Amino acid sequence: MLRHYTITENKLVETNAPNGQVLVFVAPDDAEKRYLLEELKLDEHTLSSSLDPDELARLEFEPEHAALIFKRPKNYCSEDNFLFRVASTGVFIFKDRIVIVLAEDIPVFEGRQFARVQSLQDVLLKMLYRVIFHFNEHLRAITMISGEIEQQINTSLENKYLINMFTLEKSLVYYLNAINSNQVLTEKLKTNAAKIGFSSENLESLDDIFIENSQCYRQAEIYSNILASLMDARASIVANNLNRLIKTLTIITIALMLPTLIVSVFSMNVIMPFPHDHPLAFWMVSGLAAAASLLFWFYGRSRKW
C-alpha cells in the first residue's frame, strides 16, 4: 500500500497526487518492490532489512540517496501475551523526496511533533523523536503491568504470573538493544550531517534527540535491572506461599486424624473399659475425640502454627 504526502504551509498533508514529497510504503507488494528497486534504485538488501524486525539500525549512503534503518516499538495486542516486540523502519532520503518503508500499517505522522514540518530532514528527525516518545509510552505500560502482576504473585501460587514477569523482562532486553541501536544511528547522523543536508536548526534537534534517546535508554535499563533483581525475590514468595499452604493442609490433616483415631480404637472388636451397651458410651467417645482436637489446637497455638 502506498500513501503520498506533501509539505504544505509547514504541515504534512496527505495527497492523491503521484508526485508527493513523502512516499510511505506499507508492506509493499511485488509490484511496489519492483518500483523501489528498479525506478528508485534502492538496494535490495537494504529494502529487505527495512521489513526485518531483527535488523540493527544503520546508516548507508548510495549514489542517489541516503538509506537508514531505525528501530521502533511494534504495536502491542492481547495475543502477544505481555511480550513487547520491536520492528524496523526504512527511510530513504533523496534530494526531492523521502521514501518510508514499513512492515505494518501504523500512524506514522501522528502527535504534536508533526504540527510544524519545514523540510524533508524535519520529517526524518520528527520520526526519530516520535519513536523515542513511543518507547517511553511502552516503558510506562510495562511498569504498570509489572506492578499488577507483582500483586498477583504475592497472593497466587500459579506459575503463569512468573512467566508473565519473565516475558516482560525479555521485552525490556529487546527494547534496550533497539534503543541502543538507535543511539548509534543518531551518532552517525551527527557525523554525516553535511551529506544528509541538515541545517543548524536540524543539528540542534538532533542533539535533543540524542539526549532524549540516552534518557530513554537509561530508563529502560533501570526498569530491566529492577525486574531482574526482584525476580528471585518473587520466586521465593511463590515458594513461601506453597510452603504455607502445605503447612496448613498438614495441620488440618493431623487435626482430623486424632479424633478419627480415637473413634476407630473404640470401634474395634476388642474389650473396652466400659460395656458396649453403656448409655453414655457414644458421648464418652465423642468427648474424647473433641478433647483430642482441643488439645491439638492449644498445642498449635502455643507453637504459633
Q: Is the pLDDT of residue 281 over 70?
A: no
Does residue 117 sit in the same domain as residue 222? yes
Distance CA 164, CA 29 (A): 36
Output the DSSP codes for 88-110: EEEEEE-SS-EEEEESS---SS-
Q: What is the model's pTM? A: 0.74
Average pLDDT over residues 196-210: 87
pLDDT of 181 strictly over 80: yes
Q: Which three cell numbers stand for residue 167?
A: 516475558
Q: How many domains does the chain have?
A: 2
**Which of these three, 188, 217, 241, is where a domain ends?**
241
Same domain, 13 and 121: yes
- Is residue 120 domain-shared with residue 233, that is, in the same domain? yes
Same structural domain for residues 54 and 152? yes
Q: What is the pLDDT of residue 176?
A: 92
**Are residues 225 and 277 located together in one domain of the fold?**
no
On whether both 276 and 199 belong to a single domain, the answer is no
Q: Is the pLDDT of residue 270 over 60?
A: no
Same domain flag for 192 and 256? no
Region class of 41: left (phi > 0), else alpha (psi between -120 and 50), else beta: left
- Residues near 122 by Cβ (< 8 Å), separated by ≥ 6? 202, 205
- Residue 22 burial class via C-beta count within 10 angstroms: exposed 0-12, middle 13-18, buried 19 and up: buried
Domain that includes residue 207, residue range: 2-241
pLDDT at residue 280, rounded to an integer: 66
Antiparallel, parallel or unpaired: β 98-102 and 22-26? parallel
pLDDT at 238: 67
Q: What angle do CA 9, 124, 182 make, to 5 degrees?
A: 155
Do 273 and 190 share a structural domain?
no
- Which range scores top for mean pLDDT: 73-77, 184-188, 251-255? 184-188
Neighbours of 241 (CB within 10 A): 15
Looking at 241, 256, 277, the residue that finishes a domain is 241
pLDDT more than 70, % of the chain: 86
22-55 pLDDT, tens digit each: 888 888 888 888 888 888 888 888 888 888 888 8
Both 253 and 121 in one domain: the answer is: no
pLDDT value of position 268: 63
Closest CA to 238 of 152, 148, 153, 145: 153
In a shared domain, residues 12 and 104 = yes
Q: What is the pLDDT of residue 183?
A: 92
Phi, psi angle pair for 156, to nearest 5°:
-125, 155
Task: Supply φ then ψ for residue 121, to 5 degrees.
Answer: -65, -35
Give 60-67 contacts, CB < 8 A, sequence gap 24+: 61/192, 61/195, 64/94, 65/40, 65/41, 65/92, 65/93, 65/94, 66/92, 66/93, 66/192, 66/195, 66/196, 67/42, 67/43, 67/91, 67/92, 67/93
* pLDDT tens, position by position, 84-98: 889 999 999 888 888
pLDDT(65) > 70: yes
Q: Are residues 34 and 92 in the same domain?
A: yes
Cα–Cα distance between 5 and 100 in angstroms, integer? 11
Residue that terminates a domain, selected from 241, 259, 286: 241
- The predicted pLDDT at position 177 comes to 92
Top pLDDT among 208 and 162 is at: 208
Least-confidence region, from 21-35, 246-260, 283-297: 283-297
Q: What is the CATH number of the domain that holds 78?
A: 3.30.460.20
**pLDDT tier for residue 297 given thresholds of 50, 70 and 90:** confident
> pLDDT: is 267 or 54 the higher one?
54
Mean pLDDT of the chain: 81
User: What mean pLDDT comes out for the span 164-171?
Assistant: 85
Average pLDDT over residues 187-205: 87
236 & 256 share domain: no
Locate 161 and state its grid cell: 504470573
